[in-house]
Structure 1
Amino acid sequence: MYKFAAIALLGVMTSLSPASAAERLTAKQIRALFPGSFTGIWQNTNRVSIKAERDGTLAGVAGGMTDSGVWQVSGRRLCVTFKSWTQNKQRCGEVFRDGAQYIGFIEDGKPQLQFQRN
């Protein structure tokens, strides 16, 4: 259940279509957003808090569980790997901005993550 919750980096999920209502971030914009501290919701249920460090490391808390990993920007995608939550597998996804909130990791046309910077 919390396998990938940390990617959630970070609000409240909506049925918003990111392609039509939000701006897709460029690699430069993603790098300007990270590093930082974030809170949000993964798959509309799991609250998460994530800290992304300048050296590419991550630390997260979701549902009382902690995990650590790494992040990087690849093209226009944010990629994260967590020891437990992603089972040491890299997950990458585009990031969209909708006002003060960010949306990421779109699967089957649905955002898996909505987050904001602290």
Structure 2
Amino acid sequence: MNGEAIFTEYLLPFTGLLIIIALVATVIGFLMSIITDPKSAITVLITIAGLVVLFFIGYSVADSSVTARELNEFGVDEPLSQKIGGILNMTYYLFIIAGVAVVLDVVQRVVKSIG
């Protein structure tokens, strides 16, 4: 069995299962946070709204071009290609935001230790 067959037969469905588990855990965590502290729901809703905004920014910038191979082999058409590009762009934006947050945290800790 080659590497691509292992990926498509085992790892890809497993990844989908992990995504579903993560979504269920996120929804359960959100509901529990609303029950324990209703004011914290505002922060979660603002975060979700921010993610939606980042997705639509990424979606609007994404290219919708599709090659013949992608269309025939994977069934990816132009709208799906743009959605995939939007999700990838959103992932890049989140990675940049996380990197900036780490750098700012390190700088803040250095400033606190000096002063």
TM-score (norm 2): 0.18
More strand by share: 1
More helix by share: 2
Larger Rg: 2
